[in-house]
Amino acid sequence: MKFSGFSMRLFRALRAYFVFSSAAATFSAFCAAQTPAAQPSAPDTMAARVKACAVCHGPQGEGTHNDYFPRLAGKPAGYLAEQLKNFRAGRRNYPPMNELVTYLSGDYLYEIAVYYSKLRPSHMPFEPSVSEPFSPSRFARGQMLAQEGDAAKGIPACIACHHQTLAGVQPSIPGLLGLSADYISAQLGAWRSGSRRAAAPDCMQAIAAHLSDADISAVARWLSMQVYHSDLAPAPAGSVQLSLQCGSVPH
């Protein structure tokens, strides 16, 4: 059976969702650790708190080989904390994530974010897919969008904000390396359709609105082929001059 790009993405998202049921036991243990009654017996270390997360995000936050589970390790803490709050407030939708963070306080979410921001896994759990065809013209289009943008279509270069190295910028702009093409294109598609929202003005929404399906697939694929290095840390705050205003970036 041949899936279209979209139904394949949907299929992977659903498969990702059902993996969650096998994580249910760890998940209940995680919830139990949040209730005062369970506290005397549950050791409250950060490693214990994030056990439920490792099923999908990997023991070092590197992601898993499932194309839809993103790397968390090394992304700026401000960005990660903002996303956890977005899941809590329903500005991002992925039921297991929404459920996990519903009852957690902002301080607690921030501590988890700081923990993941400091991890530097030595490898990524997947290799960019080379079996899928990627024509030279699509490669060139993806590279152009990432490095130069397309002024005629109102699309700024991704590196203008995500940094020349694509490793992100402290404290709120995530790196785009070490993510699968499926994850990146699903996020851009979610911004375009309004199911992922960031603080206003939502610059990523404005950018995604100008990207065609072909643009999304080309830039996502090109980004997924760029090599992730464990020593690539996000650049210091203020390293880039934002070409559009982004509400989640302090200024």
DSSP alpha helices (H): ranges in 90-180?
Answer: 95-101, 106-117, 136-147, 159-162
Using CB under 6 A as the binding criterion, the count of chain residues that bind ligand HEC stands at: 52
As a whole number of angstroms, the distance between CA 178 and CA 223 comes to 9
Residue 3 has phi, psi (to 5 degrees) of: -90, 145
Q: Indicate which single residue of 119, 158, 166, 232 sits in contact with ligand HEC (rule: CB under 6 A).
A: 158
User: Which residues have CB under 8 Å from 238's CB, separation 6+?
Assistant: none
Q: Indicate which single residue of 9, 12, 55, 178 sits in contact with ligand HEC (rule: CB under 6 A).
A: 55
Q: Which residue is it, tokens 């996502």?
A: 220
Measured from the CB atom, the residue of 119 and 186 that comes closer to ligand HEC is 186
Q: Is 156 among the residues that bind ligand HEC (CB under 6 A)?
A: yes
Q: Indicate which single residue of 124, 166, 167, 204 sits in contact with ligand HEC (rule: CB under 6 A).
A: 204
Q: Is 207 among the residues that bind ligand HEC (CB under 6 A)?
A: yes
Pick the closest to residue 207 from 235, 234, 173, 236 (CA basis). Answer: 173
Q: Find the shortest distance in angstroms from Cβ 218 to ligand HEC.
A: 10
Q: Find the shortest distance in angstroms from Cβ 247 to ligand HEC.
A: 8
As a whole number of angstroms, the distance between CA 155 and CA 177 comes to 20
**Site of interaction with ligand HEC (CB under 6 A):** 16, 19-20, 23, 50, 52-53, 55-57, 68-70, 72, 75, 79-80, 82-84, 92, 94, 96-97, 100, 112, 145, 155-156, 158, 160-162, 172-174, 176, 184, 186-188, 198, 203-204, 207, 219, 242-244, 246, 248-249
